[in-house]
Amino acid sequence: MNNAPTIPQSATGETSSPAPAWHSLSADDAIREQGSDARGGLSAAEAAARLLRVGPNTLTAREGRSWWAALGSQFVAVLVWLLLVAAGVSAVLGEWVDAGVIAAIIIINAVIGASQEFSAERSIAALRGMTAPKARVVRGGVVAVVPAAEIVPGDVLVLEAGDLVAADARLIESASLAAIEKSLTGESEPAEKDAGAVSPSPPVDTPLAERSGMVYSGTAIATGTARAVVVATGMQTEMGRIAALIAGAESDGPTPLQVRLARVGRLLVIAALFIVAALFGIGLVRGEPLLELSMTAVSMAVAAVPEGLPAIVTVALALGVRRMARRRALIRHLPAVETLGATSVICTDKTGTLTVGQMTARALVVSGAGDGGAAGGTLAMLDVSGEGYAPEGAVTAQGKELSAGAGAAVMRLARNLAGVNNASVMEEKGRWVASGDPTEAAMLIAAAKVGLKREALDEGSPRLAEAPFDSDRKRAAVVRRSADGADVLVNGSPESVLALCTQIAEADGSRSMTAADRAAIDAANADLASKGLRVLACAARTVPQGEVAATVADPSPASLERDLTFVGLVGLLDPPRAEAREAVAKCKAAPASAW
């Protein structure tokens, strides 16, 4: 099936008829609408023909104004016109210093405003960098790697963990799939995806964050594998819509400061005209020479113009833009920064705005610590300091910092945190960033804070097999080599993991889990959850040397996830920004706008 899709697109992003709500169609219907084939994809010839018809899979934006147009727009204010007149009159009167100073102020004001607009345009253009440079697609039944710009509607994408999605696509196959959609939805947690999910049809449209059967351009695959048929490319994607909205954003009118400056400019013009008329009239009555009288009247009018006002306003706005830029806020036009002072309602997202946007381990509950800890019984509650993905901070027990490698119980839990993990954390340009599931990245850093790095774990206890995370099981399992044979490490939701535990870890081994143990674990879980933490449980099982080969040969959940020993809990959250509390307090205390 290599027919043209029924919803043709043009290279300019226009469509001949409204596109379907792809998330409301089944995978088979989406394939049929796009005239493609789930197994064979498009032929090379058909893909080339569609590329000519729809254009490249790139983000384009309306061409911005030229440098001279942006510079010219800085001279439209009444006050600037008045200063131009003042500079001209000063030059005519021979006051070259005054004329030069006024002209310099006008030019500096214009250059700063134009430069800010061009800087913002470059930031908007950076959105184009969020598309994948290459992608794997099925062409003629063969998986091929092609430039992302050559992806067309109807192509079948092949996706796996770590891939950047090259275009908006409807899933047709998926296995334990989760995608990081923070760039579109703001949610730091990966969104679970399922090819079988079909959203309700419009007019009851489904929010983008809940479209489980779709993957979107510019997002990343956190876990699992999938195949998906491309339904939108370039400016027709959700990322393209954002780029178009930003590029097309225009002010509804002048800002409050611009209104007041225009009002001041008009008043100054009126005052100058009144001064000229009054002095001219008085001079005529007194019989003053006409030329001398004219020059005196004009000089007085020029003196009434505050030539320093535009410079002061421009410098103040430029400083405001600079402060906003340090916080990664995009200000396209210089006067726009002033509108923050006239704000009466603030609508804010939580993730990445009020919060850091990075998952962080805040508490550990270890089994077998032997000190009775805050959780009761054989459980001990540990606090974890530090923020985000930087490997900075410490693990403390009752206020005492644990040294690296201290405590068998803590290291046993750390083995789970680092061992059942596919994320990676690295430093880029002075910032620590994570690749993969944010929750796994946070657990990786928590393990490093007690002295266990995944690199060392991989070297001494290599991974042999795994059962990936599944949304139905709500857990993941990994088999790692150990001195006694192998260890099955399992992480997941407390309910799903505890249901498989028959033992509980102790300082010198393990013992059968009792009802009292389960009650203590449930209480610790509830305590962490009441603090707003996301809680995961960790468990393990030792595989004797003689059973390792059979276990690796059959890494199914049923084979791995049984007769587990409870190891501990980890509580995670996306912490609030340090400045968030103060910022909210300042907003509440701010006086009502006078505009």
Residues designated as active site: 349
Q: Under a CB-based contact definition with an 8 Å cutoff, are residues 463 and 404 in contact?
A: no
173: β partners: 227
With a CB cutoff of 8 Å and minimum separation 6, the contacts of 36 are 1, 2, 5, 42, 154, 155, 156, 229
Alpha carbon distance 84, 183 (integer Å):
46
Q: Under a CB-based contact definition with an 8 Å cutoff, are residues 480 and 542 in contact?
A: no
Alpha carbon distance 136, 142 (integer Å):
10
Burial level of 434, CB count in 10 A (0-12/13-18/19+)?
buried
Burial call 25-60: b when 16+ CB within 10 Å, e when fewer: bebeebbbbbbbbbeebbeeebbeebbeebbbbebb
Burial call 342-364: b when 16+ CB within 10 Å, e when fewer: eeeeeeeeebeebbbbbbbbbbb
- Both tokens of 101, joined, read 């100073």
What are the angstrom distances between the C-alpha of 7 and each of 4, 10, 21, 51, 157? 9, 10, 12, 14, 19
Phi and psi (nearest 5°) for 149? -65, -20
What are the angstrom distances between the C-alpha of 151 and each of 89, 136, 154, 226, 570? 62, 10, 9, 17, 42
- Both tokens of 367, joined, read 């089994």
Indicate the residue type of 430: G
Q: How many CB atoms lie within 10 A of CB 546?
A: 8
Q: H or E stretch including 232?
A: strand 220-232
Burial call 123-153: b when 16+ CB within 10 Å, e when fewer: ebeebeeebbeebbbbbeeeeeebebbbbbb
Q: Is 543 helix (H, G, I), strand (E, B) or coil?
A: strand
Phi and psi (nearest 5°) for 172? -120, -20
Q: Under a CB-based contact definition with an 8 Å cutoff, are residues 389 and 358 in contact?
A: yes
- Both tokens of 372, joined, read 């009775």
